[in-house]
Every structure is written in C-alpha cells, then in structure tokens.
Amino acid sequence: MTLHLDPVALNGAELFDALGEDDRMDVLRAGTVRRLAKGRRIFAQGDPGETCHTLLDGRVKIVQSRPDGGQSVIRFIGPGEMFGTVAALMDRPFPADAVAVVDSVEIHWPVTAMRRLMTRFPQLAICSAASAGRRLFELQERLGELSAERVEQRIARTVARLVRQAGRRTEEGVEIDFPITRQDLAEMTGSTLHTVSRTLSAWDERGVTASSRRRLVVRKLHLLLEIADPDDG
Amino acid sequence: MTLHLDPVALNGAELFDALGEDDRMDVLRAGTVRRLAKGRRIFAQGDPGETCHTLLDGRVKIVQSRPDGGQSVIRFIGPGEMFGTVAALMDRPFPADAVAVVDSVEIHWPVTAMRRLMTRFPQLAICSAASAGRRLFELQERLGELSAERVEQRIARTVARLVRQAGRRTEEGVEIDFPITRQDLAEMTGSTLHTVSRTLSAWDERGVTASSRRRLVVRKLHLLLEIADPDDG
DNA sequence: CGGGCAATTGAAGTAGATCAAGCCCAGTGG
DNA sequence: CCACTGGGCTTGATCTACTTCAATTGCCCG
C-alpha cells in the first residue's frame, strides 16, 4: 500500500518550513513514510541512533526508563515535529524509547541520507540546531520548576503545556487530543499516579477540569494558569 | 594592556577543535579577549542575546533566577567551553545569568560576526549544534534523576559530575578546583543548604569527603559513586 | 578586631510517597 | 448477550525524608 506523497503534508513541519516545494519533494523521496499502529515502538532506548524521524500525523511519546525500573516521560511529539534526530546526528544511541500513543504516520531517513540532505540544504542543519535549542530551553525551564515548585503547580504547568501542544477546542472546554493516563502525568512531573489522581479529582471538583479514563478536558484555563503561576506571570 | 593571541590557547576548545591554526587565528581576531574579575557578571538573564562566548581560563557559573526569588545553578563552565551561544544564535534573550566565580579570561563575538564565521567555517555551526545536543542529553539525564532520586543520591551525582568537570588530583584526593558553596550545591540539586550541609558533614565523618568553607575534596571516589549509583551501573 | 558571609546543628512541621483496598468500565471470548 | 478480566482510577491511613524555623559558631578579609 502506497501512501501518497504530498509536499503540502510537510507544511508546518519544523524541519522543512524553510524549503521550497520542489526541494521538499526531494527530501520526501529520500525518506520512507509508514503507518504506525497505536502502541508500536518506533525505536528503543539504547538502539544505535541510525534514523531521523518526523511525525506527520498522530502522537508519539518519548519515554526514558531508569535503572531502578521507573520511567520518565520526556515529551510528547505532535505532527510536524522531528524526533530521534539529535541522537542520530551525534552518532549516539537513542536515550529513550519512542512509542506511538495513537495510530500515526511518520517519515524517517537513514542518518547518512539526512547528512547528505543537510549538506545540500544547509537550512535543514540550521533548523535542526534551532529545534535542539528550543528543547534545551524547555528542559532548563522544567528543571527549574521540578526543583522549586510543589507537585500541584508542576502538574498544572504540565497540563498547560499539553493544552498548548495538543489542545482541541470543544464545547466543554479544551481537550487534550490524545489519550493520556494519570501515570503519564506522574512520569512527566516526577510524582506518583496517586498524587496526580487526587489532584485531578480536586480540580474536577472545582470545575477546573473534567477528567476521565485516559481523557482530560480543561474547562477553566484561567484557573489552571492561576495554579501554575500563583503570583501571576 | 593587550593579552597575547595564541591560537594554541584554543586547543581543546569545543568550538575550534576542528579548525586549522590559520583559520583559528582568523576566528580569534574577530572576537574580543578580556579578563573577568571574580564575581563579574558577564551577561544577565533577560538581556538580548547578542554575544557568543567561549571561556579560555577560569570558571563561570550559569544561574537562573526564578520568579519566586530562588535560583537554579544550571551549570559550571570550564576552559574551552562555550556559553551564551545557543541563545544568541536563536535571537533569544539570555535565559540565565553568567557570573565568573574566579578570575577568568573569555573571548566573545557579536552574534552577527559569529554567524558570518559559521557560514565561512561550517564546522563551527556543526560543533555548536553538537554542543547543544550534549547539553540536551545531560539535562534529560538530570531531569530523570531529579524526579526519581533522593537528595543524598542527587548530591552525590552532582559532586561526581563536578569531579569529572573540574577535578584536580591532590595528595588528599580529588579537589574541585573552584570555590563552591553548600548553597550552590543546593541550587544544583533542588535542595536546601541545610540538607546539603548535613549530608556533607556525614560524608566527612565517613571519610568520603573533606569539605570546608567553599572547598570540596573527594577522598574516596568509589564510595561517592556507590552512593550515586546504589545498585551499581 | 569586628562585621558578615558560610556553615553547623537542633527541633518541629508537612508535602507527598507508600501501603492497602476496592471500584469502574472497555474489551474479549464464550 | 453476558460474564469475566485486567488496566486504569479512586480514596483512606500511615509514614518519613525533607523543608522550615531558629539559634549559634566560626572563618576570612578588610
């Protein structure tokens, strides 16, 4: 089965925004597009980083597992975002697993091909550096939060971030457009599913959110932001 | 007073390792070398990122201050490392302060000049992307630690990292070669100076470390690593 | 020699982890 | 169609590693 190759599919993809349509087509042809069934692991922590990926549709979770058996959710990838690229370009093993959380579509390139493309289109190299920079800043921010803020505040910030990344307006409010568990939230905030559960229950009570099994709707964003940033921001 | 411009001074500097001596000289000439008295602030959080820096000698602390008044020590920079570069290249304000913790020497370039240099020597661009990647991975690691490990373990890891970055062999053991306070350690581990003080006291007791005012010597590295990584690694 | 930054150390309080028990609901297969 | 099963969620009770508060000491530099 062949998926159609539409250069427009890459509109908004961070890696390709700076390229013209013709160039995009060349880049597309050098890669492989494939469907990913929900739950499918795209690469595993420790695998040699030999491929660069960009998500075209769906949602992918990047999870790091720690020696003690615990996991950390590093981030969720949305359409247009690349992943696995930094590791590949640095010839390092992947530092985390990548798992499709819903049925998704991605395109991927062997790192050798990507290097060739980057030589030909320096914009690609610059974009990928910028993307690394953005993530560096984001992590720095999260590091500061994690060491200074209380759990509720961290959960609020995390949910607010998810709203920005994956919020879909509904009549009820803004819904996170992919299934997310309390456990996920716990692993993103350095907490436990128990505490997350209690927190969400309390928020539901107050009408801030409406959460259910794998589903999260923010009904009063202003209140959430208030919790995330008490003395305003 | 003119500091002499010795291309060899840049040996081991991550940004320049890939360049020949002639090219290095060109790069050097485009920048400004200056001494930094201990305590001197090189740039401040929020300043427009208009300069790229590389430390030639000494030690620089990168500190983020949070809205609530607290601070996070993001990292310490040693000779050869660059700083402020990612922000500058992305046209973002600096996300943190940079402060010289001992008398130091740095070289810095206006970001416009650095962009020109990077076009001329693509290696510079690639190196700086790689450097961002390394730091990205390091932060990911720290994020995982911070959310999962107990304070003592985090302090141990942090000290172990400092030993790697700034350890100097002495007859007593390995000494961190710049002045560091309990407060610094607390801000690096997301803890308080009280807890750090108690922890170091306990370690001193056991002969793991020998700490005093702004000074830290690791006497039994194997024990420290044991604490940092209980079930081996 | 004195002023202030760094560090120590005790005592008390608490956020949130951990332990424990049970419930709810979406699939699955008979 | 209904019973079963297991993953996801809730909620109470207890426990504890840290923070916070408070006081004191000691070191270094001017």
Convert the pLDDT of each residue in B33-65 to its tens digit.
999 999 999 999 999 999 999 999 999 999 999
Question: In the predicted model, what is the mean pLDDT of residues B62-84?
Answer: 93
B173 Rama class: left (phi>0) / alpha (psi -120 to 50) / beta: left
Contact B132 A129 (CB under 8 A): yes
Which sequence spans correspond to the domains of chain B?
A: 7-145, 150-228
Summarize pLDDT for B117-138 with one digit per residue, the tens.
Answer: 988 887 788 788 888 899 999 9
Q: Is the pLDDT of residue B110 over 90?
A: yes
Nucleotides of C under 7 A from a protein CB: 6-11, 15-20, 25-26
- Phi/psi for A92 (5° steps) reads -110, 155
- Is there a shared CATH topology between the B7-145 domain and the B150-228 domain? no
Q: Is the pLDDT of residue B3 over 70?
A: no
Summarize pLDDT for B13-35 with one digit per residue, the tens.
Answer: 888 887 888 898 999 999 999 99
Contact B139 A134 (CB under 8 A): no
Query: Across chain B, what does the average pLDDT equal?
Result: 91
Nearest residue to C19 via alpha carbon and C1':
A194
Instruction: Report chain A (233 residues): mean pLDDT per 10 consecutive residues.
Output: 55 79 90 93 96 95 91 95 93 95 95 90 81 92 94 98 96 96 98 98 97 97 95 60
Chain A residue closest in CA terms to B122: A122
Q: To which CATH superfamily is domain B7-145 assigned? A: Jelly Rolls (2.60.120.10)
Question: In the predicted model, what is the mean pLDDT of residues B140-168?
Answer: 96
d(CA B194, CA B176): 21
Chain B residue closest in CA terms to A125: B126
Footprint of strand C on the protein (CB under 7 A): A 150-152, 190-192, 194-195, 213; B 181-183, 193-194, 197-198, 200-201, 204, 211-214
Q: Is the pLDDT of residue B8 over 80?
A: no
Residue A5: per-residue pLDDT: 56
Summarize pLDDT for B195-223 with one digit per residue, the tens.
Answer: 999 999 999 999 999 999 999 999 999 99
Q: How far is CA B12 from CA A122, B17, B96, in A?
A: 26, 6, 25
Q: Would you place residue B69 in the very low, low, confident or very high pLDDT band (cuts 50, 70, 90)?
A: confident
Count other C-beta atoms under 10 Å from residue B5's C-beta: 14
Q: Is the pLDDT of residue B66 over 60?
A: yes
Q: Straight-line distance from CA A194 to C1' D8, in Å?
A: 12
Q: Is the pLDDT of residue B1 over 50?
A: no
Contact A140 B96 (CB under 8 A): yes
How remote is the C-alpha of A88 from its chain's centroid? 18
The dihedral through the CA atoms of A99, A104, A110, A114 has a sign that is negative
The reply to whether B194 Cβ lies less than 7 angstroms from strand D is: yes
Residue B138: per-residue pLDDT: 93
Question: In the predicted model, what is the mean pLDDT of residues B76-94?
Answer: 94
Cβ neighbours of A130 in B, within 8 Å: 89-90
Residue B223: per-residue pLDDT: 97
Helix (H, G, I), strand (E, B) or coil at B87: helix
A132 vs B136, B143, B190: nearest CB:
B136
Q: Is the pLDDT of residue B186 over 80?
A: yes
Picking from A36, A85, A77, the residue whose alpha carbon sits closest to that of residue A59 is: A77
Q: Which of B15, B92, B134, B140 to mutate to test the interface with A (most CBs of A within 10 A)?
A: B140
Residue A121: per-residue pLDDT: 84
Residue B4: per-residue pLDDT: 53
Q: To which CATH superfamily is domain A150-228 assigned? A: Jelly Rolls (2.60.120.10)
Q: Would you place residue B2 in the very low, low, confident or very high pLDDT band (cuts 50, 70, 90)?
A: very low
Residue B154: per-residue pLDDT: 97
